[in-house]
Structure 1
Amino acid sequence: MEIAKKITLLFAILSAVIISLLSGFVWYFSNEFAFEDFYKRLEARVNIAAQIKLYEDDNNDVYAKMRNQYLERLPSEKEFIIEAGSNQSTVDRELPKVFYDRINAGFMARYRVDNHFYAGKFFKNSQQGYVVIVSANDPFGFRELKDLQKILIIGFFLSIILSFIVGWRFSNYMLMPLRNIIKSVKKIKAENLHLRLDVKSGSDEMSQLAQTFNNMLNRLETAFETQNNFISNASHELRTPLTIISGEVELAIKSKDDAEKQHKALTKIKDESDRLEHILTSLLGLAQSGFNGKNQPWEEVRIDELLWEIKASVNQVHPNSRIDIDLNTLPDDDEQLTLKINKNLIKLAISNIVSNACKYSNNNPVTINLESKANTLSIAVTDLGIGIPQTDIQHIFEPFYRASNTNDFKGYGVGLPLSLNIIRLHRGSIAIKSQEGIGTEIKVLLPIKG
């Protein structure tokens, strides 16, 4: 069922419930109080009849005259005066026992059958006690109550129809922006990801939804561009060593009688094979770092201990490097140093950063600083190397991109993108600050409590 129909149906049901309750209250209180005035008129006649018929008073004639002149006679009005304890069959119908029990208790009793009303009370003169009952019809009040019942029933059905129509128009009006969003989203495909939804001014849910779609489209467009660039660059990087290997193989075949040329060709083939293996390993790591991490092992690791392992592994690759680990800002609480991470991936990410710092610093000291602040663990790697030109900083996390001043250094441009993917997998971030010719500081920020 469409949302508009659901809203309309729900709106009609709620309206029906509310109108039913309101009609019930109106009917109940109208039924309770519609005959109150008529009962009081009967009770007044009970008192007057008792005064005139049961008590000897000089004013009785005056009371009788006033009743005849000023009190209208009610439809089918009858008076019944019954001696206490005698047979009560003189009344025109059998009245319930509770009616007489209330009279015997000294109260004014009331009773109604359809539109025929009874009021009675016990009186006692100097001789004995009597029960005085007055009955009459109230066709007007009863008719008004019937008319009210018809009006409430007709009004109920008309209100339901009206609420259904209003609910349908209201739901269509409220869902119109959503339909426009759906229509616009259907137009966006892989070949036109640059299109965006029209975001209306305001902070309502529809504007937020449109803005959320636009943000998602921004990420998708960036992802598509990154993927295209990645495939293009990867194809180029893989094709180059393969072309060189193919050419050297042909040269070695042609130079079968020249051992020196064959040795050079085979050495070149080995170098390019190693390069190709390194590129493929990096690409595999870059792809694996894009997983959600659910199927990878996560464990509690002390980061300060991990840094010593990283230092040892980087020293094996760069034996002449000088790496200093600054632990002066360590927190007193060991829990601030322990994170639940994928140890191998984090080790790979930070090792790439430290290895780059050593490679581009020409054996100048590299400092690793560990600090915990505001539920965030900060690992800052600082070198005194060649630095990064300002125009290149925004691109260094793109796969296979290399800064313009790194031509004298061997590299493939996949280390930092791989590290960024791993850090993002751990809900962290990387900040970089660099000045060409002075040095670079790369700071890894990891949340302590996830």
Structure 2
Amino acid sequence: MKFQTKITLLFFAISAAGLILLNAAIFYFVSQFSFKDFFDRLEARVNLTAQTNLFTDRNTDAYKEVRARYLEKLEDEKNYVVKIDSNEDNFPHPLKLPQSFYKSILDNGSAKYNESNHFYFGKTFEAKGARYMVIVAASDPYGFKELTQLKKILIVCFLISIVLSYIAGIVLSHYTMKPIQDITISVKQIKANNLHSRLPEVKGNDVVSSLISTFNTMLTRLETAFETQNNFISNASHELRTPLTIMTSEAELLLSGRKLDPVSEASVKTILAEAEKLHHILTSLLGLAQSGFDGKKQNWQQIRVDELVMNVADAVKKIDADCTIDIDFSTLPEEESQLYTAGNNNLLLLALSNIVMNGCKYSKKQPVKVQAKTENGFIVIVVTDNGIGIPEKDQQHVFEPFFRASNTSEFEGFGIGLPLTLNIIRLHKGSIGISSQEDKGTEIQVYLPISVG
């Protein structure tokens, strides 16, 4: 579940709980007020009933007139006057009500009770040398109708309110998460070739400004680390090339100059071969440095894929004349604009040459097929060989520097070619796919974006 959705649901749950409590409180207090008002009216009738029935020495006619003129008769209104004997536990109960109601009247002098829409109020009086209990019972259909109407109104308002609260939660979560989403979009745009970019600073001391500051600090550290690494590799490669060139030249001079005894000649040839290996390693390391972070695109140009493949085949042939390369352009589109990708020609030439040379080497000079096609906005270059293949357990590691598959011990190599190729393809916003079966061969797909314009 998305964090924004969680915020929306949390806000919705809190709002719904608050609305439930608010509506329950409104209904409770209104109903209590309504009940209290009705009980007050019943108490007034209890007093008038006592005056007109128990106190005959007073102006009972006046009380009757007041009651008839100013107090309307309530729904189902009934009056009960009961004389309480000395034995308070044994007196007639005019209504089938809980015993606690009668006991409360006797103990407290008055009591009230309601059951559904029926209300009862009782009170004791001293008159004519005896104790009496006066009870008035009535129904309040209008009050209950009002409460029922209030309940409907509260339910409708609650439903409307929770819908509005859900919408408000969506709006709140959107504006709450918008700064984070903006940061996410900005961070996604920062890649290895533009680590010099920074997120725009935001004033304040809130979480967003702190997060931006943390990201910018991290990017600074990454940029420094990349530059340090690449500078080291580049400088080391250049510095080592000079003495290596001298060693190679001196060895070639010894072999071409005067005659050497067989032992010395063999030693010089060994020195020359190892120097050439070291030169290849240094060239690859320098390629790794060039294909890593440099902060900008260098020598970027429009590259035609068929010409690139032909140049790759020529470059491999110059290095290994025995390599057989079958080129297939039959699936390329006829539209010329679909044949171009943007990039550095030398780097792409190096990357694809590494793949083709590996195919030739590990297939023991069997033909290597190179096919070019387009697919979903990408130029796809497929290199297929019938060589030794890559063991399944090693396939996830073939792009790690200096890693070599477990079945390549009889072949020379340094484990730099494929990592270098991957770096170059990633620099060109492409990707590499690999499919291989041991003892059957390997297929490598290189995806490069078609250049628009």
TM range (shorter): 0.5 to 0.7
Is 1:119 aligned to 2:121, yes or no? yes
Cα deviations by residue, 1:41-95 (Å, 9 ceiling, x for unpaired): 111211221122112313222222222223332222211112225764544xx11
Please identify, of 14-23 and 216-225, the stretch whose mean Cα deviation from structure 2 is larger. Answer: 216-225
Instruction: Give CA-to-partner distance per residue, 1:292-339, whole Å, 9 cap, x none.
Output: xxxxxxxxxxxxxxxxxxxxxxxxxxxxxxxxxxxxxxxxxxxxxxxx
Amino acid at match of 1:61: D
Residue of structure 2 in register with 1:64 after alignment: 64
Write the letter of the residue equivalent to 2:178. M
CA RMSD of aligned residues (A): 3.0
3-state SS of paired residue (1:12): helix
Shift of 1:17: 1.1
Q: 1:112 to 1:232 in 2, by over 3 A?
A: same
TM-superposed CA distance for 1:247, in Å, is: 4.5
SS in 2 for 1:77: strand
Q: Which runs of 5+ in 1 are unaligned?
A: 277-450
1:224 matches 2:226? yes
- Which amino acid is 1:41 matched to? R
Q: CA deviation at 1:100?
A: 0.6
1:28 alignment counterpart: 28
Is 2:212 the partner of 1:210? yes
d(CA) in 1 for partners of 2:31, 2:37? 12
Deviation of 1:168 (Å): 0.7
CA distance in 1, matches of 2:11, 2:164: 11
Once residues 128 and 75 of structure 2 are traced to their aligned partners in structure 1, the CA distance between those partners, rounded to angstroms, is: 33
1:19 to 2:19 alignment:
yes
Tell me if structure 2 keeps the 8 A contact 1:43–1:108: no
Q: Deviations over 1:393-440 (max 9, x none)?
A: xxxxxxxxxxxxxxxxxxxxxxxxxxxxxxxxxxxxxxxxxxxxxxxx
Q: Is 1:173 equivalent to 2:175 in the alignment?
A: yes
Query: Structure 1: how far apart are the matches of 2:194 and 2:130?
Result: 106
Residue 207 of structure 1 and its aligned partner are, at CA, apart by 2.9
Structure 2 residues without counterparts, runs of 5 or longer: 279-453
1:11-33 residue CA offsets vs partner (Å, 9 max, x unmatched): 11111111112222222222322
How far has the Cα of 1:239 moved from its partner? 2.6
Q: Is the 8 A contact 1:75 1:136 kept in 2?
A: yes
Report the TM-score, using the length of structure 2 for normalisation.
0.52
Give the distance between the partners of 1:77 and 1:196, measured in 2 at CA. 83
Aligned-partner Cα distance in 2 for 1:16–1:71: 44
Normalised TM-score (structure 1) = 0.53
Q: Which amino acid aligns with 1:134?
A: V
Whole-angstrom CA distance in 2 between matches of 1:177 and 1:58? 83
The alignment partner of 2:196 has SS state of: coil
Distance 1:83 1:184, change over 3 A: same
- The answer as to whether partners of 2:54 and 2:128 remain within 8 angstroms in 1 is no
Percent identity of equivalent pairs? 50
1-structure distance, mates of 2:12, 2:23: 16
Read off the aligned partner of 1:2 and give its amino acid letter: K
Aligned mates of 1:203, 1:58 — CA distance in 2: 82
Amino acid at match of 1:166: A
Matches within 5 A, 1:18-417: 18-85=18-85, 88=92, 90-91=94-95, 94-249=96-251
SS in 1 for 2:113: strand
Corresponding letter in the other structure for 2:209: S
Which amino acid in the other structure matches residue 24 of structure 2? G
The aligned amino acid for 1:144 is: E
Q: Name the count of aligned residue pairs.
A: 263
DSSP-derived class of the 2:74 partner:
coil
Shift of 1:175: 1.8
